[in-house]
Amino acid sequence: MSLNAHLETLKKKHRDMSEAIEQAQRAPGVDGLEVAAMKKKKMRLKEEINRLSD
């Protein structure tokens, strides 16, 4: 997989994670720890995107 293809895959995962977090925050009864874990995963994706983009 080329670097550009890998970056695009990471960016798509990041967008998907953003949507999942928004849905989870709107849903009643969603565990706050689960949302926090999702946010950490999203942050790691963003950090990897930034690292590979430099």
pLDDT in tens, 14-54: 999 999 999 999 998 889 999 999 999 999 999 999 999 98
Q: Is the pLDDT of residue 10 over 90?
A: yes
The pLDDT, as a whole number, for residue 45 is: 97
Q: Is the pLDDT of residue 1 over 80?
A: no
Task: Tell me the helices (H) and strands (E) count for the chain, helix number first.
Answer: 2, 0
Q: How many CB atoms lie within 10 A of CB 45?
A: 19
The pLDDT, as a whole number, for residue 7 is: 95
20 Cα distance to chain centroid = 9
Q: Is the pLDDT of residue 5 over 90?
A: yes
